[in-house]
Amino acid sequence: MFFKNANNLLEKELLKEIDLDKIPKHIAIIMDGNGRWAKKRNLPRSFGHKAGVETIREIVKVCSNIGVKYLTLYAFSTENWKRPADEVNALMNLLVEYLKGELEELHKNNVIINYIGDISMLPDICQRELINSNIKTKKNTGLMLNLALNYGGRNEIVRAIKNIAKEVYNKNIEIDKIDENLISNYLYTSNIPDPDLLIRTSGELRISNFLLWQIAYTELWFTDVYWPDFKPYHLYKAIKDYQSRDRRFGNVK
Ligand code: IPE
Ligand code: IPE
Ligand code: MG
């Protein structure tokens, strides 16, 4: 175990109400609200991102401890390049800092560090840290921490279509063999099951180009809490709610 047990009473009580045999296998999170968290405190937006990294540290540990198998975090979208350069730089630096600071402990705790998205557009130092972290941890068997970086759901689908079209052109795939399974195998998430639970913080009720194909039957959970204020308590609430839902997948009971 990474960390001592739940550290406040409310959290402990809520944890008792969660069925540890029915933990969602894959949780995806749109970590939103860092900028507004900072603005509320009259701080620059980058302070919000820094505070958001603390939340990441804590949530990754909790997910690992309660037996989540995959945690996909939306860290930088294909649209986030529109932001001012200093904010983009601050985000990239935080990524490097996080990986450098956590790698040893994550590795010791059997976490696999993985990424999805076109990382070739990221600064070299980010690419290097990501690839090193992945190589070092890929044989681990615990939680897979999957960082979505320069990730966009539409971009992912376009990329898949191009790659499949090339295979058809080269006569490696017959058109009739193209089905949902084959398309899934051409996505960044080819080795990862679809998310069971998607959480978005900060009160926005939208998907913002995240995992468009993969969330067809994912359970959605929204909270007004800004990401830097998101605590294990909120995660447990989301999981408890998830466990009360009836997932029908179009069938009847
Ligand atoms: C989420 O917080 C972090 C990233 C998108 C990288 P925001 O920066 O979007 O914060 P708000 O939504 O402006 O408050
Ligand atoms: C989504 O948040 C992207 C990430 C959390 C990385 P945004 O803040 O970029 O989304 P919009 O612009 O509010 O839809
Ligand atoms: Mg936002």
> What CATH number corresponds to the domain at position 142?
3.40.1180.10
pLDDT band at 8 (very low <50, low <70, confident <90, very high): confident
Task: Kindly tell me if the per-residue pLDDT of 178 is higher than 80.
Answer: yes
**pLDDT value, residue 6:** 54
Taking CB atoms within 8 Å and a gap of at least 24, the contacts of 40-44 are 40/226
For 69, the domain range is 21-154+193-243
Compute CA distances 16 → 6, 12, 237, 250, whole Å. Answer: 10, 6, 11, 31
For 117, other C-beta atoms within 10 Å of its C-beta total 21
In a domain, 203, yes or no: yes
Cα–ligand 3 centroid distance for 81 (angstroms): 13
Give dist(CA 252, CA 167) in Å, integer.
39
Cα–ligand 2 centroid distance for 210 (angstroms): 9
User: What rounded mean pLDDT belongs to the chain?
Assistant: 96
**Ligand that comes closest to the CA of residue 49:** 1
**pLDDT value, residue 147:** 98
**Which residues lie closer than 8 Å to 94 by C-beta, 6 or more apart?**
49, 50, 53
In a domain, 184, yes or no: no
Residue 32 appears among annotated catalytic residues: yes
In a domain, 53, yes or no: yes
In a domain, 180, yes or no: no
In a domain, 6, yes or no: no
3-state DSSP assignment of residue 173: coil
pLDDT band at 249 (very low <50, low <70, confident <90, very high): very high
pLDDT band at 9 (very low <50, low <70, confident <90, very high): confident
Ligand 1 nearest-atom number relative to CA 75:
6
CA 13 to chain centre: 26
Contact 179, 159 (CB under 8 A): no
Cα–ligand 3 centroid distance for 183 (angstroms): 29
**Ligand that comes closest to the CA of residue 34:** 1
Task: Kindly tell me if the per-residue pLDDT of 218 is higher than 80.
Answer: yes
In a domain, 3, yes or no: no
**All residues with CB under 5 Å from ion ligand 3:** 32
In a domain, 106, yes or no: yes
Task: Kindly tell me if the per-residue pLDDT of 4 is higher than 90.
Answer: no
In a domain, 110, yes or no: yes
pLDDT in tens, 79-98: 999 999 999 999 999 999 99
Ligand 1 nearest-atom number relative to CA 33:
14
Number of domains within the chain: 1
